[in-house]
Amino acid sequence: MPKKLAEEEFELLKEVGYSDKAIEFYINEVNVGSIEKPDVALVYTGPCGDAMKIYLKINKNCVIEGAKFYYLGCPGAASSGSAITKLIIGKTMEEAKRIMEQDILRELGGLPESKLHCPELAITTLQKAIAEYEKDKGQQQV
């Protein structure tokens, strides 16, 4: 269910530099939620104190079939989480590893300068989740 923002809140997001797409992702909570029986779920708290938990569903060909997340933080963290999940669905793990902060910013159409750490939170959470998956998968093959 989309968030309800007062007109003043919506205008404030625009005034401080959130793009229309970042606001849309935030309001519509794109890919916010969990995946039942994920192949990996990992939580990470960034230096700013915002936290993100990412859930991935990965098929036998190492393609990410599903991605969702929860977050504790600001609209920048929310929209960055939405953007990264949109970017990685359908990608192989190797392709997902190559996603950079600039890719998230491009997907969102930018963020306020004070929120440029938010894509880093999403990238780091994803990278740690992939590393955890690969470690667990490697241990299963031994």
pLDDT of residue 140: 63
Q: CATH code at 101?
A: 3.90.1010.10
pLDDT, one tens digit for every residue, the chain (142 residues) = 677 888 899 899 999 999 999 999 999 999 999 999 999 999 999 998 999 999 999 999 999 999 999 999 999 999 999 999 999 999 999 999 999 999 999 999 999 999 999 999 999 999 999 999 999 887 665 4
46 is a domain residue: yes
Question: What total of structural domains would you count in the chain?
Answer: 1
Identify the domain containing residue 85 by its residue range: 7-141
Query: How far is it, in rounded angstroms, from Cα 11 to Cα 3?
Result: 15
Judge whether 1 lies within some domain. Answer: no
Residue 9: partners with Cβ closer than 8 Å, 6 or more residues away:
none
Q: Is residue 2 part of a domain?
A: no
pLDDT at 141: 54
pLDDT computed for residue 142 by the predictor: 42
> What is residue 96's predicted lDDT score, i.e. its pLDDT?
98
- In a domain? residue 51: yes
Q: Cβ–Cβ contacts within 10 Å for residue 75, how many? A: 23
Q: At CA 130, angle to CA 129 and CA 133, rounded to 5?
A: 85
